[in-house]
Amino acid sequence: MPPRPPRPPALIRTFHPKPHLLRLHLDAPSAFPSASAAAPFEPPTAPQLPPRRQPAFSPGGFGLAGGTQRRPGQAAPTGLGLGQGLGLGQGVGMGVGKDKGKGKGKAEAAEERVSEIERLDREIGADEARLEGKDKEEAEACYVPPPATLYYHSPSSLPLLYSPSPLPPFQLAYETWGTLNADASNAIVLHTGLSASSHVASGGNDVASSTSSKPGWWEDFVGPGKAIDTSKFFVICTNVLGGCFGSTGPASPYPPGDGETRWATRFPLLSIHDMARAQLGLLDHLGINKLYASIGSSMGGMTSLSMAYLAPERVGRVASISASGRSGLNGVGMRYAQRSVLMADPNWNRGFYYDAVPPHNGMKLARQIATITYRSGPEWEQRFGRRMLSEAEGADGVPGLGPDFLIETYLDHQGERFCLTYDANSMIYLSKAMDLFDLTAPALRALADRFNAAYPDAAPFPYPSDPASVSASPSASGSGSGSGSSAPALATIASPTSASASAAPVSPSPSITAAGPTPPPKPKRERFIPTSKSPHLPELSTGLARLAHIPALVLGVQSDVLFPVEQQRELADALRMAGNANVTYYELGGVWGHDTFLLDLQGVGGAIRGFLH
């Protein structure tokens, strides 16, 4: 037998930027071009990217030849191959042509199976469209921001926590509902989750009819007479900084470019606090000094807490739904897995894919991982069970390697839809911002040290011990740079008009007897016993001292695997330990998992209505 010829070296796919973009590429050694000779553009610090990975084996596999070669006389394979998706009618012929003698009966069975697949696909698509408010119109592709919205254009740069150079003047896409009253005291800001746009409900102010008539992602919760009543409140919702639905983000034009060049991964690393600071600028633009309430769910729950920390004098109430005061490691790990599979897609090209094919495969897999964390196992059992397409009537009963269980077809459907409606870089940046969120005192002190040293002339990032007069609001004046003390003086936190959960009752006046004055009885101090067993509780309560006077609503869901209910217990207990006597905590049941805030109108909507009214 002749010796086997040597295997050719592995093909390494490389990407070369277009000539007119070469000088702006992330790996280019040349300096960034200046916007003008008088005012050179100083870009904010870009995040560090993971090293390039090169395969150490043949693309054909571990010792296997690539391609679809078959032995002489071997029949072509039928059914689903590895990684082959099951679209409508795909794989329907499995086993159908094996025995043509069965004739009409087999053909009718195949038609019935096609109808069953189409019905299931319609049900899954309609269900998800209803949940996401897209039952009348699909979401805009992220590469072209939706034109039918309102825009706030910042007049100045935005200082950033993780960059010594600020973000150049930016824009936020937003929508409003209801009417702002004369003293601007009825405004509510709704903070979105990671992938939501500013279109929270239909009927928005001053937007095109095509947008105003479209149901939003919280349609059943926001509107006249609903939980967030727009006949009483002026509601604002923005697409967060770093998003892809109109606000400045990685897909936005790069300032020194020609209008077609995108930021891509030159965009600076963001924090939740940066997003909240940007929204404070919008409030100044709208003439709103103090919000009636700041409400958010998931990532928005973090942003809501951040706004109350940065500018407590501007927030009347704060609601955090299915969120936490510090990102748990379970969520950090899941989001890292999502970013890993996305960045492993060759089409991601280290973030520079806007002039080429986007990383749809990576986005699809990332969304499938995310969807698993958004729902719960009990719901999967109730909704899908162990039903399989290969077991449908008329099928040959042989499972395929592609989507076969109904839960698999559901995840496949979710991934396909999301990769066409959201920007991959925005998902990477915003999910990382969620991972970095931490309101414990040591983390906040480190951020304050970093920020205040880099931006001595900007409104400061407050220390946990700073009074409410020290604000990060752009309109704040004379705030100083913060006290920087190591721990808050909790004795000065308790409100003089309301009793704290840990405050001592007023001692009665001493009585006079024949034997002389009797000493007053020793006051009984009400002891607060937290339900959370988190070792970080003391540090978190110290970090939340600036929220001691703000009524708070905390909502948790027992079936949530992304933000386990223990994190909401920890947040509620930390607020109480910080001296907040007006903390309302609800723990909801149900099987919807993290997405309960989108679905449970009675539980979530009722809690919000009661909190606001």
Q: Under 8 Å CB-to-CB from 426, ≥6 apart: which residues?
A: 142, 242, 243, 244, 249, 250, 251
Which amino acid, residue 491? A
Locate tokens 């066409």: which residue? 420
Q: How many CA atoms lie within 13 A of 484 on its CB side?
A: 11
Nearest to 501 by CA among 524, 525, 523: 525
Return the half-sphere exposure (C-beta side, CA atoms, 13 A cut-off) of residue 539: 13
Amino acid symbol at 219 = E
Half-sphere exposure of 141 (CA within 13 A, CB side): 6
Q: Three-state DSSP class for 190? A: strand
3-state helix, strand, coil in the chain (%, to 5): 35, 10, 55
* Annotated catalytic residue, options 197, 247, 298, 559: 298
Nearest to 193 by CA among 561, 575, 562: 562
Choice among 404, 412, 438, 560 that is catalytic: 560
CA-CA distance, 145 to 262, in Å (whole number)? Answer: 13
Active site residue: 191, 199, 413, 594, which one? 594
Determine whether 139 is exposed, middle or buried from the number of CB atoms within 10 Å of its CB (0-12, 13-18, 19+).
buried
Active site residue 285: no
Q: Read off the tokens for 382.
A: 């109730």
Active site residue 345: no
Q: How does DSSP classify residue 291?
A: B
Q: CA–CA separation, 42 vs 268, rounded Å? A: 12
Tell me, yes or no, if 135 is annotated catalytic. no
Q: What φ, ψ does residue 24 adopt, rounded to 5°? A: -100, 0
Which residues carry out catalysis?
298, 560, 594
